[in-house]
Amino acid sequence: MLYAARTMGKPGMKRPLPDPARALAALQRTRDVYAPASATGKLRLLRMLARATLRSARQLRRLHESLCFLRAYPDDARVLAQVEAMLARFDRRADLRAQRAALAHTGIAGTETGYPFFWPTALWLARCWPARLRLDRSDALAGDNIARALPILVTALEAAALKESALPGYEAIDRLRGRMSDAVFLIERIAAMPGDTFTREAFYDGINPSCTLAAGRDTPSRTREKLAGAPVAVDQKQIAAGAAHHRLHHAEHRIGGDRRIHRRAAQLQHAHARLRRQRVARRYHAVLAVDHRS
C-alpha cells in the first residue's frame, strides 16, 4: 500500500492512500461534488491515478470518462491543469496499451476505431491519415458490393482483367491498389468519379464499407477533442447546478444498466446509418444499372 507523508494529529504519522480501485471509486463519487475543499481532494486522487496501474478495461474507461467530465467542469485551474495533462498522456499509459483491444471503438486515444463512416468523414480520414485507414474485411456484404462496383472505378483494361479473374472484392482491390491501403484506394477512386459530390456519396454509401482507423498520436479521439478557444469559467454556483443536472441525467440513464444503455446507443447509431444509406443506395444501384446497360 502507498502512503502519503502527511501529518494527522501526531508528528510522523502517515495517512494511507487508497489503492487504485478505491481511488477511482472515490473520484467517481466526488467528481461532481463542489465544496471549498473539494479541489484538494480531487487533486490528490488524480495525481495518484496518474501514476497508478489500473487492472481492467472497465476501470480505464471509468477514469477516462471522469477526466472528460472534470475537463468540462473543473473545480479550479489546478484541477483543470492536472486533468489536461492526464488526458494528453492517456494513450501512453502502460495499462491502456495492455487493454487496447478491449477498448477498441470507444473513442479513447490509443485505441482503434471501426465504423461504416459516411462519405465526407471517410474522405477526410483517407486524406489526413492514409496510412492508418483500412477496410474491415470481416464485412462480407461490403466485399460483395466492392466486387460489383470496382469495374466502374477502374480503367477498361483493368475492368477486363477483373472480369476474367473473377476475384472477390477485397482480393481484387489488393491486385490493383499498389502501396495504397485498400480503404484509401477505394475512396480515392470514388473521389475521381465524374459527377457531383452527392453522386459520389450515394455510390460510396451503396457499397457501405466498414473501415478501421488505427490509433496514432494525432488521430481523432474523444480524449483529445474539445472546442479550441472556448473560455473556461470556474463558477462554483454554475458548476454545482450543472453537476446536479448531470447527476439526474446520469441516474435516469443508469436504469437497466450502463452496458445496455451503451449498446442501445450504438444500435441506434448504426440503425440511423442504415436508414440513411438505404435512401441513397437507390442512386448507387441506378448508376450500376446505367453502367451495365452501356
For residue range 178-199, list pLDDT tens digits in order.
Answer: 999 999 999 999 999 998 999 9
For residue range 260-269, list pLDDT tens digits in order.
Answer: 434 444 454 5
**Lowest-confidence segment of 4-18, 50-64, 73-87, 121-135 by average pLDDT:** 4-18
Contacts with 266 (C-beta within 8 Å, 6 or more apart), sequence order: none
For residue range 229-259, list pLDDT tens digits in order.
Answer: 777 767 555 555 555 555 555 544 444 444 4
pTM over 0.85: no
Long-range contacts of 87-91 (CB under 8 A, 24+ apart): 87/223, 87/224, 88/224, 89/50, 90/64, 90/223, 91/215, 91/217, 91/221, 91/223
Question: What pLDDT does 278 receive?
Answer: 52
Q: Locate 76 and state its grid cell.
A: 479550479
**What domains sit in the chain, N to C, each tagged with a CATH number?**
1-103 (1.20.930), 113-215+266-293 (no CATH)
Question: What pLDDT does 227 receive?
Answer: 81
For cell 502507498, what's the residue?
2
Length of the chain: 294
Q: What is the DSSP string of 86-115?
A: HHHTGGG-HHHHHTTTTTTTS--TTS-EEE
